[in-house]
Amino acid sequence: MDPAAERLALGLAELERRDLRRARRVVESPQGSRVRVNGRVLVNFSSNDYLGLASDPRLADAAQSAIEEYGVGAGASALVSGHLRIHERAEERFAWFCGLPRALLFGSGYLANLGILAALADRDAHIFSDSLNHACLIDGARLSRAQVTVYPHADVDALAEGLAASKAPVRIVATDAVFSMDGDIAPVPQLLELCERHDAWLVIDDAHGVGVLGAGGRGTLEHFGVRSPRIVYMATLGKALGGYGAFVAGEARVVEWLMQRARTYIYSTALPPMAAAVAMRALELLDEDPSLLANLHRRIGELRSALVRGGFRGTHTQTAIQPAILGPAARAVEVSTRLAERGMLVPAIRPPTVPEGTSRLRISLCGAHRPEEIEALAQALHEHLAA
């Protein structure tokens, strides 16, 4: 083997040795509360399809109509000729949906966060980032070349000290709204208050809050009842909303700046028109069919009370993400394998996705789960975690 390939082989062997080498499951059915893997149907506690919309025929119809009207591809980036009428309409709908003046569509949440941070911050800026933020906020901060301070998870006092000491002309606080591996909710009102006091932007990533939190499923801003010209709000379309893509919303001038300067917006092909149509239909369904959201919150309540009844101690969150932290990667993999044998797909999440020593099961709930499936999961967790 030549030295370049040898290096990769060693790297892969090292991942293997540390129980960190990943393999993909091939899913043989649509995404949903049950999926077929290797010919076996498993109850799926591993997807971000929290409302069961990914395979909802009403969204498939919306995609088909959009294909008939607009074809399958946007064909160019938005600033060249890829911004179709359906994208324009979707942006208006998103702005209205989250109660902010203007919205901009991005190819994905990952692209949106890279674009936001690199466009708002330059070398002279100072970004304050929660220690449990998603990889794309971390990468966006790096890409901007700004000074970055990672503050301890949700620690408002530490953040206040950092902001007070910062002399940078541009300050940005960046946070997941719902933390993707823990399911807890960021203290948004307190963060906003600090941003107002210190003239900072508040960049909020609501990938796991949109379609889940708030009485109408409008996300973390609705949950807390906050709006502010300082908020730069990012929500993804590929999780609870069932499709693909993302939007950023905020004050008209911020959104205009992103349109002019966010490189991941400017230099990337606009979303397929059907993705815009699917997302708009998903927003309508949240209003038309309140059972979507109500069922999810019922399932969350059932799992929480079953875990409490079983004496299981862990963090019980208000969101669709319920972690069971086990520590060593091998232990998380072991329990996940046992659950799969019992017909339940619950992923083991290991470093580098979570900090060393905090490998866990990440249980994600879906409104389409049945109450007895939740009960069976709680029972199995109780047996395997007590052992």
For ligand PLP, the closer CB: 151 or 302: 151
**CA atoms within a 13 Å half-sphere pointing along the CA-CB vector of 98:** 34
| Binding pattern for the stretch 273-302 against ligand PLP, x by CB under 6 A and - elsewhere | ------------------------------
Site for ligand PLP in 318-377 (CB under 6 A): none
Question: Among residues 341, 342, 327, which one has the least CA distance to residue 373?
Answer: 342
Minimum separation from the CB atom of position 314 to ligand PLP (A): 20
Interatomic CA distance for residues 101 and 10, integer angstroms = 52
Helix crossing, 156-165 with 188-197: angle to 10°?
10
Site for ligand PLP in 235-254 (CB under 6 A): 236, 238, 246
For ligand PLP, the closer CB: 133 or 359: 133
| Binding pattern for the stretch 208-227 against ligand PLP, x by CB under 6 A and - elsewhere | x-------------------
Contacts of 165 (CB under 8 A, 6+ apart): none
The Cβ of residue 381 has, within 10 Å, a number of other Cβ atoms equal to 24
Interatomic CA distance for residues 203 and 89, integer angstroms = 24
Which of 49, 91, 184, 205 touches ligand PLP (CB under 6 A)?
205
Q: Output the residue with the shortest Cβ distance to ligand PLP.
A: 109
Contact (Cβ atoms closer than 8 angstroms) between residue 82 and residue 253: no
- Residue 182 within binding range of ligand PLP, rule CB under 6 A: no
Which of 45, 70, 97, 110 touches ligand PLP (CB under 6 A)?
110
Interatomic CA distance for residues 320 and 220, integer angstroms = 13
- Give residues in contact with ligand PLP (CB under 6 A): 108-110, 134, 136, 176, 180, 205, 207-208, 236, 238, 246
